[in-house]
């Protein structure tokens, strides 16, 4: 499920092509300095981000006095602007990040927050509001509520149809963890009823217009549609796992995917953010970048139908959206094409005079980190006519084609994209407050924070971007369902009505800790409920056939050097240093000089290996004898493992 494949060395050849500078040593130095600056920023900001995110969750958060348990406030700001409400969309995206973090490393305190969130959402589903109520599902399309969970009845852009889909996705993510760790009955009796209502809403109302994620455009939104498709596919799979079904999911998902294709404009060369509108905008919008990253499934590769982050459609759109802000923001002035800039919502934006947003600048980085992960996993990069402009902005000499990871062109492209991604994070570092606080926006003229302070979504966006950079990716959602990527020949604007039932979850059982050997922190302590742990423990859990082993070694290096791992099996080059696997220096700091990367090994496999340093002139330095040894467990449920070494 998780694991990192290696980042490449920022080598001298790559930098000369990437940055277009004659001074190769200067280019290499600047790149390494940027990488290490971003490392240091992430190391400092991550703790701040998770703390501030939790501060904005009721009822115990430091900014959440008076907020009901489990509800997420968009921001502590109560005036100019007043964001002291809970939005269904924002809360789902925040908890999507929390669930991913929890699934990667068990944390009892996060599990408590997740449980409280699920309980709070079950209650919100029953609240009658201006959009409607639960009887016909219309009330689920309401955008925001007061912090005590009561209906917001003033004028607003409603309905907003992305919320139910995103909430379903988030709750499905936690349900997968429950099932994998033997708590199927909890997922079935407590979480599924909430998910089922949201999936029913998606299947019934997906083909009706609504307001977009920025709450301004009433039409058909790419961001909403792509989330709806994923929710139906993933919901169908979970239903089967729980011994039930979602026939509406199966019937409607292919048509949602079919409709999703209409957002791609071949004549324009980018994905249109909104359709079925006539508002005079260009439809260039960070909406499409956000849609792509929240639809990321590492197993789908660079699939264009689902607009995967490394697909040619998504990369072409990334360039168009980012470039739309190059000339309109003063803080972007003088920045060359192909270099990172501050990213806003859409170029015609006038809210607070239209500024860059932290979460959109981070999303631009996250999409590229997603792409890097897939390229390393697949061992190649494909440049098409559609994505060529994106790649040529970074590597002017590149042409359309497929480049294997053993080629110089692959290395040049990979390094260029990695530096490009880091540059967006560096923009956030530059314009964040000195205490690490992330507001909603930063001023287009001087970069000072603007609008709502401590935006919860900003912190969630930082956490997911940092995780992707570190090679921590979420579990896939597509599975083996052909409806995930197979576009029907003909689209039908069909929908399927269903019934809605009040979900009555009021508490979660205690002691639901991992059944495997995950790292455990804190203790999960919520009130006792009647649900018991299923009997699927060790021996009946899904047995893995391969394990992604993360190898980490501490080795001080100098500019231009890279650390690789080589060993006695094919995946480690069979002791051939030219086929050794390059490790990543993405977390390297002067105080913690670590290089890391992941190798997929078969269960029960025993290997021997060593680390080597490849110098700028191509010469190789081996570490001292003896050979290292490692054996993968012969059986088990864990798909990841870690091996930590120090250069000998």
Quickly state the pLDDT bin for 538 (edges 50, 70, 90). Answer: very low
Kindly tell me if the per-residue pLDDT of 232 is higher than 80.
yes
What is the enclosing helix (H) or strand (E) of 106? strand 106-107
Pick the catalytic residue from 142, 212, 312, 426. 212
Mean local confidence (pLDDT), 159-169 = 98
Instruction: Name the more confident of 230 and 1.
Output: 230
pLDDT at 561: 85
Q: Any idea which fold 546-646 has?
A: Immunoglobulin-like (2.60.40)
Mean local confidence (pLDDT), 160-168 = 98
* DSSP codes joined into one string, 2-71: ---PPPPP--HHHHHHHH--S-HHHHHHHHHHHHHHHHHHHHHHHHHHHHHHHHTBTTTSTT-TTPPTT-
What are the residue ranges of helices labelled H in 397-493? Answer: 408-431, 456-469
pLDDT in tens, 333-359: 999 999 999 999 999 999 999 999 999
Report yes or no: 118 and 194 within 8 Å, Cβ to Cβ. yes
pLDDT at 42: 94
The yes/no answer on whether domain 56-290 falls in CATH 1.50.10.10 is yes
Kindly tell me if the per-residue pLDDT of 519 is higher than 60.
no
Report yes or no: 372 and 7 within 8 Å, Cβ to Cβ. yes
pLDDT in tens, 65-122: 999 999 999 999 999 999 999 999 999 999 999 999 999 999 999 999 999 999 999 9
Question: Phi and psi of 514, rounded to 5°?
Answer: -60, 145
pLDDT at 544: 65
pLDDT at 4: 35
Quickly state the pLDDT bin for 30 (edges 50, 70, 90). Answer: low
* DSSP codes joined into one string, 155-187: ------THHHHHHHHHHHHHHHHHHHTT-HHHI
Same fold across 56-290 and 546-646 = no
Is 303 part of the annotated catalytic residue set? no
Give the 3-state secondary structure of residue 644.
Answer: strand
Kindly tell me if the per-residue pLDDT of 7 is higher than 60.
no
pLDDT in tens, 134-148: 999 999 999 999 999
CA distance linking residue 79 with residue 62, whole number of Å: 18
CA distance linking residue 281 with residue 344, whole number of Å: 15
Q: Where are the domains of the chain?
A: 56-290, 546-646
Kindly tell me if the per-residue pLDDT of 386 is higher than 50.
yes
* Total-model pTM: 0.79
Give the 3-state secondary structure of residue 152.
Answer: coil
User: Which residues have a Cβ under 8 Å from the Cβ of 155 and sit 6 or more positions away?
Assistant: none
Report yes or no: 452 and 440 within 8 Å, Cβ to Cβ. yes
Give the 3-state secondary structure of residue 102.
Answer: helix
What average pLDDT does the structure give for the chain? 89
Binding residues for substrate: 156
Pick the catalytic residue from 215, 216, 623, 638. 215
pLDDT in tens, 248-298: 999 999 999 999 999 999 999 999 999 999 888 999 999 999 999 999 999
Is 215 part of the annotated catalytic residue set? yes
Nearest to 103 by CA among 596, 516, 622, 498: 516
Kindly tell me if the per-residue pLDDT of 217 is higher than 70.
yes
Which residue carries 């260039």 as its tokens?
A: 284
3-state helix, strand, coil in the chain (%, to 5): 40, 15, 45
Mean local confidence (pLDDT), 561-586 = 88
pLDDT at 331: 98
CA distance linking residue 290 with residue 360, whole number of Å: 8
pLDDT in tens, 459-482: 999 999 999 999 999 989 999 999
CA distance linking residue 277 with residue 288, whole number of Å: 16
Question: Phi and psi of 565, rounded to 5°?
Answer: -120, 135
Quickly state the pLDDT bin for 29 (edges 50, 70, 90). Answer: low
Quickly state the pLDDT bin for 618 (edges 50, 70, 90). Answer: confident
């Amino acid at each position: 499920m998780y694991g990192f494949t290696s980042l490449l060395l920022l080598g001298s050849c790559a930098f000369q092509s990437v940055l277009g500078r004659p001074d190769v040593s200067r280019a290499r130095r600047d790149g390494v300095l940027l990488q290490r600056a971003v490392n240091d920023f992430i190391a400092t900001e991550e703790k701040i981000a998770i703390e501030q995110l939790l501060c904005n969750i009721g009822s115990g958060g430091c900014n959440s006095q008076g907020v009901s348990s489990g509800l997420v406030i968009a921001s502590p700001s109560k005036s100019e602007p007043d964001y002291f409400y809970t939005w269904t969309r924002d809360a789902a995206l925040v908890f999507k990040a929390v669930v991913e973090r929890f699934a990667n490393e068990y944390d009892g305190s996060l599990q408590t927050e997740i449980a409280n969130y699920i309980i709070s959402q079950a209650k919100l589903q029953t609240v009658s509001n201006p959009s409607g109520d639960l009887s016909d599902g219309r009330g689920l399309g309401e955008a925001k509520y007061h912090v005590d969970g009561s209906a917001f009845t003033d004028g607003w852009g409603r309905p907003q149809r992305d919320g139910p889909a995103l909430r379903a996705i988030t709750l499905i993510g936690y349900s997968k963890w429950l099932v994998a760790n033997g708590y199927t009955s909890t997922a079935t009796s407590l979480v599924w009823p909430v998910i089922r209502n949201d999936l029913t809403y998606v299947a019934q109302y997906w083909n009706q217009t609504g307001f977009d994620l920025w709450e301004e455009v009433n039409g058909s939104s790419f961001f909403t549609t792509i989330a709806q498709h994923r929710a139906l596919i993933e919901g169908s799979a979970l239903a089967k796992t729980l011994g039930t079904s979602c026939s509406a999911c199966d019937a409607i998902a292919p048509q949602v995917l079919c409709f999703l294709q209409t957002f791609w404009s071949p004549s324009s060369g980018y994905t249109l953010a909104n359709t079925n509108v006539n508002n005079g905008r260009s439809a260039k919008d960070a909406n499409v970048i956000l849609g792509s990253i929240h639809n990321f499934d590492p197993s789908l590769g660079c699939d264009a139908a689902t607009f995967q982050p490394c697909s040619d459609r998504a990369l072409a759109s990334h360039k168009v959206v980012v470039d739309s802000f190059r000339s309109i923001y003063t803080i972007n002035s003088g920045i060359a094409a192909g270099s990172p800039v501050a990213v806003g919502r859409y170029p015609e934006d006038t809210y607070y005079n239209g500024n860059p947003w932290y979460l959109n600048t981070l999303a631009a980085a996250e999409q590229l980190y997603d792409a890097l992960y897939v390229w390393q996993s697949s061992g190649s990069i494909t440049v098409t006519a559609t994505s060529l402009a994106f790649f040529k902005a970074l590597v002017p000499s590149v042409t359309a084609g497929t480049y294997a990871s053993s080629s110089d062109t692959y290395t040049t492209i990979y390094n260029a994209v990695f530096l490009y991604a880091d540059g967006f994070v560096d923009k956030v570092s530059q314009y964040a407050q000195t205490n690490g606080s992330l507001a909603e926006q930063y001023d287009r003229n001087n970069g000072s924070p603007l609008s709502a302070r401590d935006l919860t979504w900003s912190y969630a966006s930082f956490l997911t971007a940092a995780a992707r950079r570190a090679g921590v990716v979420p579990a896939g959602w597509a599975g083996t369902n052909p409806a995930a990527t197979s576009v029907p020949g003909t689209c039908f604007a069909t929908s399927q009505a269903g019934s809605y039932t009040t979900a009555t979850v009021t508490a979660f059982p205690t002691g639901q800790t991992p059944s495997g050997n995950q790292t455990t922190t804190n203790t999960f302590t919520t009130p006792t409920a009647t649900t018991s742990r299923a009997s699927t423990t060790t021996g009946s859990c899904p047995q893995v056939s391969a394990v992604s082993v993360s190898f980490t070694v501490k080795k001080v290096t100098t500019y231009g050097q890279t650390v690789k791992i080589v060993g006695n099996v094919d995946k480690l080059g069979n002791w051939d240093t030219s086929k050794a696997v390059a490790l990543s220096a993405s977390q390297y700091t002067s105080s913690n000089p670590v290089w890391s990367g992941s190798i997929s090994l078969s269960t029960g496999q025993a290997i021997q290996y060593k680390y080597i340093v490849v110098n700028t002139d191509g010469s190789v330095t081996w570490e001292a004898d003896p050979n290292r040894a490692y054996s993968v467990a012969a059986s088990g449920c864990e798909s990841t493992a870690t091996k930590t070494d120090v250069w000998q």
